[in-house]
């Protein structure tokens, strides 16, 4: 609407201004031309101010709507973090296999399904360490969380050849330690010492 008024007012202003110089068509006097010119100018000012107010109100409404949007539950927040780092699914299974939150303790327990290991070497160990660090950092973004207990499982087979899960990493970290960490700069070895309790024997002796 305000765009239409702006176009109309510009047209009236131009017609009035040109007619001031040389009256033509049905506008035979410079007085009429002056009125049209002033009217066009006023319409233009009104349309600009009205458009600005309308846009500001719209932005304010959107901001208010965003502010009123409820936070996801802690469990959903943890799942979102796991999915962002590890992907939604591996081998058709949800990567966030188990997510539990104890409000009294502020404690999160999460089991992550990694799927099949492509290799067991230093590159794979680096990737796992980095992914766990990113997951811990993301989970601690919620102030309600005071401690994270984390396990990573991979696809395996039992002795009968049936599909099974094998735990390869156990880690835990509390908020006191998490808030001391420079997440952008911490070394893999230092994070390993701070947060990772144990590795599967096949990874334990592999260096970064």
Opening angle at CA 10, ends 54 and 52, nearest 5 = 15
Read off the pLDDT of each residue in 117-121 and give the average, rounded to a whole number: 85
Greater confidence (179 vs 26) lies with 179
CB atoms within 10 A of CB 50: 14
- Judge whether 136 and 195 are in contact, CB under 8 Å: yes
84: pLDDT confidence band, cut at 50, 70 and 90? very high
Tell me which of 79-93, 113-127, 177-191 is least confident: 113-127
Q: Which pLDDT tens digit goes with each residue over 13-23? A: 454 444 445 55
Task: Give the DSSP letter of residue 94.
Answer: E
The CB-side HSE value for 177 (13 A sphere, CA atoms) comes to 15
Question: What's the whole-model pTM score?
Answer: 0.66
State yes or no: pLDDT of 4 exceeds 60. Answer: no
**Mean predicted lDDT score pLDDT of the chain:** 80
3-state DSSP percent of the chain in helix, strand and coil, to 5? 50, 25, 25
**Residue with the larger pLDDT of the pair 111 and 5:** 111
> For the ranges 77-81, 83-87, 116-120, which has the lowest average pLDDT?
116-120
| pLDDT value for 17 | 46
User: What's the number of CA atoms in the CB half-sphere (13 Å) around residue 85?
Assistant: 25
For the ranges 48-52, 108-112, 171-175, the lowest mean pLDDT is seen at 48-52
Starting from the edge strand earliest in sequence, which strands make up the sheet with 147-157, in order? Answer: 96-102, 107-113, 147-157, 163-174, 196-199
pLDDT of residue 42: 58
């Amino acid at each position: 609407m305000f765009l239409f008024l702006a176009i109309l007012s510009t047209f009236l202003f131009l017609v009035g201004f040109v007619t001031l110089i040389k009256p033509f068509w049905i506008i035979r006097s410079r007085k009429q031309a002056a009125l049209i010119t002033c009217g066009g100018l006023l319409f233009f000012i009104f349309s600009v101010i009205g458009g600005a107010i309308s846009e500001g109100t719209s932005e304010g409404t959107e901001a208010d709507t965003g502010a009123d949007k409820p936070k996801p539950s802690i469990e959903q927040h943890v799942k979102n973090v796991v999915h962002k780092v590890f992907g939604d699914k591996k081998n058709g299974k949800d990567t966030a296999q188990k997510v539990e939150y104890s409000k009294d303790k502020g404690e999160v327990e999460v089991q992550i399904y990694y799927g099949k290991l492509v290799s067991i070497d230093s590159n794979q160990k680096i990737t796992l360490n980095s992914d766990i660090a990113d997951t811990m950092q993301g989970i601690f973004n919620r102030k309600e969380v005071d401690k994270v207990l984390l396990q990573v499982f991979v696809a395996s087979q039992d002795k009968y050849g049936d599909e099974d899960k094998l735990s390869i990493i156990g880690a835990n970290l509390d908020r006191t330690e998490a808030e001391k960490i420079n997440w952008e700069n911490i070394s893999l070895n230092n994070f390993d010492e701070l947060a990772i309790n144990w590795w599967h024997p096949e990874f334990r002796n592999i260096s970064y």
